[in-house]
Amino acid sequence: MDETVAEFFKRTILKIPMTEMMTILKAWDFLSEKQLQNVNFRQRKESLVQDLVLLCEKKRASVHDAALLDIVYTQFHRHRKVWDVFQMSKGPGEDIDLFDMEQFKSSFKKILQRALKNVMVSFRDAEENAVWIRIAWGTQYRKPNQYKPVYVVYYSQTPYAFTSSCPLRSNIPLLGQALTVASNHHKIVKMDLRSRYLDSLKAIVFKQYNQTFETYNSTTPLQEKSLELDIHMDSRIIHENRIEKERVQRVTQETFGDYSQPRLEFAQYKLETKFKSDFNGDILAERKEPLRCLIKFSSPHLLEALKSLAPAGIADAPLSPLLTCIPNKGMNYFKIKDK
Residues that bind other proteins (CB under 8 A): 95-102, 129, 155-158, 160, 206-208, 210-211, 213-217
- Please, are residues 108 and 178 in contact by the beta-carbon 8 Å criterion? yes
- Residue 214 or 240 having the CB closest to other proteins: 214
- In DSSP terms, 137 is beta-bridged to 119
Estimate the crossing angle of helix 45-58 against helix 3-15, to 10 degrees: 130
CB 28 to other proteins: min, Å: 20
CB 102 to other proteins: min, Å: 7
CB 138 to other proteins: min, Å: 31
Q: Which residue type sits at 328?
A: N
The residues near 178 (Cβ < 8 Å, ≥ 6 apart) are 108, 111, 112
- Please, are residues 85 and 162 in contact by the beta-carbon 8 Å criterion? yes
b (16+ CB within 10 A) / e for 162-194: bbbebeeeebbebbbebbbbbbbbeebeebebb
- In DSSP terms, 126 is beta-bridged to 130
- Residue 100 or 272 having the CB closest to other proteins: 100
CB 216 to other proteins: min, Å: 4
- Residue 57 or 246 having the CB closest to other proteins: 246
Query: How many angstroms from the chain centroid is the CA of residue 198?
Result: 2
CB 158 to other proteins: min, Å: 5
- Residue 176 or 327 having the CB closest to other proteins: 327
- Residue 94 or 230 having the CB closest to other proteins: 94
Concatenating the DSSP letter of every residue in 179-221 gives: HHHHTT-SEEEEEEEEES-HHHHHHHHTT-S------TT--S-
- Residue 215 or 235 having the CB closest to other proteins: 215
CB 259 to other proteins: min, Å: 9
